[in-house]
A and B are shown apart, each in its own frame.
Chain A
Amino acid sequence: MDYFTLVIAAIFVNNIVLAQYLGNCPFIGTSKESGVAIGMGLAVVFVATMAAAITWCVQRFLLVPFDLAYLQTITFILVIASLVQFVEMFLKKAVPPLYKSLGIFLPLITTNCAVLGIAIICQREEYTLLQTIIFSIASGAGFMLALVVLASIRERLDLARVPTSLRGTPLALIMAGLMSLAFFAFKGMAS
């Protein structure tokens, strides 16, 4: 498969949030300011890539040989949670500035279904390890793109006159829906 198509498909056509509807909680929760959104996006790219690579190995060398594919979901959750904990400890010791800038986002990602989703999609599509890594980076980038765009829109909306009942999350959901519609324009560009 063409890697370029893979990247385009992951970012635009099958955008993890806007097309696959995964990771909505952080998508709404951390899209109030664009600075925060960028931090969260970077954290997702980083963790999703690590998680997808490790779960690929777990699937390939543990679950498949022992015929345990039905344990995929629970195993992946366990692995991702441990991984995030480990990465957090490692960064705190080795790269304190990065640890500080990622701040509270790392533990947030532990239970982020976008990360789990990316890992599982890689298995379903039966990607190679390289494809898995490229796909997960691109998917993370797609998540970040959606997050930053929504955050920018919401920053503008703060200045607008909005009916009280729609202020905050309701309006954010409407905006997310409209963005989702817009991203449907990419449908069919790449499989």
Chain B
Amino acid sequence: MIMTSVLVLLGIGFTAAAILAVASKLLYVYEDPRIAEVESVLAGANCGGCGFPGCAAAAQGVVDGKAGATVCVIGGDEVATNVAAIMGLGFSSMEKQIAFVDCTGGIRAEEIYDYAGVSDCRAQNLLYGGNKMCPEGCLGHGTCVTACQFGAIDMGPQGYPVVDPALCTACGACAQVCPRGVITIWGMTARLTHLNEITDCLAPCRQRCPGQINIPRYIEQTSRGDFAGALETIRERIPMPLTIGRVCPYPCESACRRTHVDAPVGINMVKRYVADWEMNSGQRQPVTCAPETGRRVAVVGGGPAGLSCAFYLRRLGHSPTIFESMPSLGGQLRYGIPEYRLPKAVLDWEIQGILDLGIDVVHGKAFGTDFDLDSLKEDGFEAVFLGIGAWMNMTLRIEGEDTKGVETGTEFLTKVGLNMETGVGRKVVVVGGGNTAIDTARTSVRLGADVTLMYRRTKGEMPANIEEIIGAEEEGVKYLFLAAPTRIISDESGHVTHVEYIRMELGEPDETGRRSPIPVEGSETIIDTDTVYTAIGQKPELSCLYDEGGNCPLEQTKWRTLAAHPVTLQTALPHVFTGGDMHTGPGIVITALGEGRKAARSIHQYLTDGAPHYSAKVQRDLIPYTMFTHVPDVGYRKRSTVPHLIGCDQRVCTFKEIEGALSSEEAKHEACRCLRCGLTCYNRDLPARECNEDGCVSRS
């Protein structure tokens, strides 16, 4: 019986083995041996961060050519090198990606109902989209913490998750489970090319800033003493913190939520403080750049827009070349803004830092005469950024305008910037009410002239910065409001002697909200003068775009500026982008810097993806629900004032810088005034008993 059993089992076994042997021969499927090899070098976490269902599938994907050597998001360069070796692929070092939490609200966010359900963000989100008043902020149950296989996320003390960059592998599990989209995985490229979206945690100042700087973040870093971090935050959006810290009219402060309590936070003072800290430390903070791509881009114009565009193109790995017609870079920063507002030494130091990243500059070549779009293409430039600014002056359109001694303000300022003889007289009349007019007036004062500034509206309508208007008055500039020149009178030699002007009165507000001036008949008056500077507006010089036949391949706006897509800044020619004054007309420096970055972003996408693209959620206007004016539970804290380096009496004869930087205590005080706003949340003063931290404000 044992014999029978053994024989029968052996028989069955052999039969099965034979069938399987035949089957394996017949049903053999070729499998690339490299799949197993690749799988063996992958991280083996089966985290799914690569987009494939597990490591085996990822290995299959690599062998099938669906994924590159850098498929494994958590393995880093080491795994990528191994995979590349097996597959015989080349690979360039991966950009370090990391989970980023875009919410600073946490427990500060107001709740609209009491939630007593399951402690899970996804579950709570099903109930009216969560109980936080802020529609975009973190719900705070820590679902991302449980989703993270690597223990890289913790629920921070502020009620929103905190990522440990050393442990984060950028697998994306946290971003997948977050119902609010608070967490994103991104690296340097994504950070540099991000445009504000209405779902981002945008404090009012961030919405208002034309450069889209993450203001609350760098102020918070400054208050912690992390000045290098603050500069890095600023340099993600603008390359020139020193310059902006001095010349920006800070539109951000007009949106500051603290305005409704006492006075806006001195945002620009803080920026200037950290920027000066870097310059005075004598050591430049390192600026990281992506690996070289070898793609060449021509940047026409070395003003703020061009410098910003070149800076970000370089940081994204491309090779920009700046073409500048003037002897030095800087554009209006150098030739328009006077020394006492922006010392040339500071500007030179800042520009050198940008060029040190590896940006080529071609001097003395003018667009349209020495080269054009076609020659750039022949020279191997794949894309072009046009940022030649707005240097052409508007004319007064009155009799005698071409008299000797009548000049435009920008020409005068350029001559001063180039250290040339200006020919300024003793009695100067400046026509206009903008910053250029004030700069012209204050510069003339420093050259020993008696200056009268003529403006056709009143002080309240002047577009210039209020500090500038007051500063000019302090220095002895006389204002002649509600006056417009009607005639320039000259002597026999053809030199100006008088200006005839007519009095104006303010009429009804026009569609822009400004009251338009109306001349008062018969009120003509004559004043003495020997020099007249006009500063009544500028526009771009677009004649350089036309070829010999008078054809222009690009389109223009009705304001005679270069037309471009408002978000991507792409012009009618797909490889040509623009920005700055050439696109917007005369504007402020921060707008030009912001447009430079936007253009660099579009050029990067044009070079890598074929066309620039943007999200439908891009923020264009201020978000209405974040602009509330009732800000309870915040106490009064005095705003710092910028110290003046030199007194009023000395200012008239020196071009030395007037405004100074805050002291470190003042900077810290100013940084602590910041409410760290999110869309709707902000720092409320704590009750006295909870107030035990340094610098904490107690509710009185």
**In the complex, what residues of B have CB within 8 A of residue A82's CB?**
16-17, 19-20
Task: Please determine whether B13 and A86 come into contact, CB atoms closer than 8 angstroms.
Answer: no
Task: Give A54 Cβ to nearest chain B Cβ, in Å.
Answer: 11
How many A residues face the partner with a CB closer than 8 A? 21
Given A90-B27, A159-B120, A160-B118, A85 contacting B20 (CB threshold 8 A):
yes
Considering the complex, give the chain B residue whose CB is closest to the CB of A81: B16
Task: Please determine whether A66 and B8 come into contact, CB atoms closer than 8 angstroms.
Answer: yes
A79–B19 alpha-carbon span in the complex (Å): 11
| A78 within 8 A of partner (CB) | yes
A78–B10 alpha-carbon span in the complex (Å): 11
Task: Please determine whether B16 and A92 come into contact, CB atoms closer than 8 angstroms.
Answer: no
**In the complex, what residues of B have CB within 8 A of residue A78's CB?**
9, 12-13, 16
| B5 within 8 A of partner (CB) | yes
**In the complex, what residues of B have CB within 8 A of residue A89's CB?**
20, 23-24, 27
**In the complex, what residues of B have CB within 8 A of residue A79's CB?**
12, 16
Instruction: Bin the interface of chain B by size.
Output: 20 to 34
| B395 within 8 A of partner (CB) | no
Among B8, B26, B29, B122, point to the contact of A68 (Cβ < 8 A). B8
Given A82-B19, A86-B19, A75 contacting B27 (CB threshold 8 A):
no
B-contact 0/1 string along A71-115, CB 8 Å cutoff: 100110011001001100110111000000000000000000000
Task: Please determine whether A86 and B8 come into contact, CB atoms closer than 8 angstroms.
Answer: no
A75–B118 alpha-carbon span in the complex (Å): 51
Task: Give B179 Cβ to nearest chain A Cβ, in Å.
Answer: 13
| B692 within 8 A of partner (CB) | no
Task: Please determine whether A71 and B13 come into contact, CB atoms closer than 8 angstroms.
Answer: no
**In the complex, what residues of A have CB within 8 A of residue B629's CB?**
none
**In the complex, what residues of A have CB within 8 A of residue B122's CB?**
159
| A161 within 8 A of partner (CB) | yes
Mostly, the B contact residues are: helix
Task: Please determine whether A71 and B8 come into contact, CB atoms closer than 8 angstroms.
Answer: yes
A160–B9 alpha-carbon span in the complex (Å): 52
| B4 within 8 A of partner (CB) | yes
Task: Please determine whether B4 and A92 come into contact, CB atoms closer than 8 angstroms.
Answer: no
Considering the complex, give the chain B residue whose CB is closest to the CB of A78: B12
Considering the complex, give the chain A residue whose CB is closest to the CB of B53: A103
| B422 within 8 A of partner (CB) | no
Task: Please determine whether A71 and B29 come into contact, CB atoms closer than 8 angstroms.
Answer: no
A92–B9 alpha-carbon span in the complex (Å): 28
Task: Give B125 Cβ to nearest chain A Cβ, in Å.
Answer: 12
| B608 within 8 A of partner (CB) | no
B-contact 0/1 string along A45-76, CB 8 Å cutoff: 00000000000001000100010101100110
Task: Give B248 Cβ to nearest chain A Cβ, in Å.
Answer: 49
A70–B17 alpha-carbon span in the complex (Å): 23
A161–B123 alpha-carbon span in the complex (Å): 13
Chain B residues proximal to chain A, CB less than 8 Å: 4-5, 8-9, 12-13, 16-17, 19-20, 23-24, 26-29, 118-120, 122-123
User: A78-B16, A90-B27, A159-B119 known; 4 other A-B pairs, CB under 8 Å?
Assistant: A82-B19, A86-B23, A89-B24, A159-B123
**5 nearest interchain CB pairs?**
A82-B16, A93-B27, A159-B118, A89-B27, A159-B120
A-B contact pairs, 11 of them (CB 8 A): A62-B8, A66-B8, A71-B9, A74-B9, A75-B8, A75-B12, A82-B19, A85-B20, A93-B26, A93-B28, A159-B118
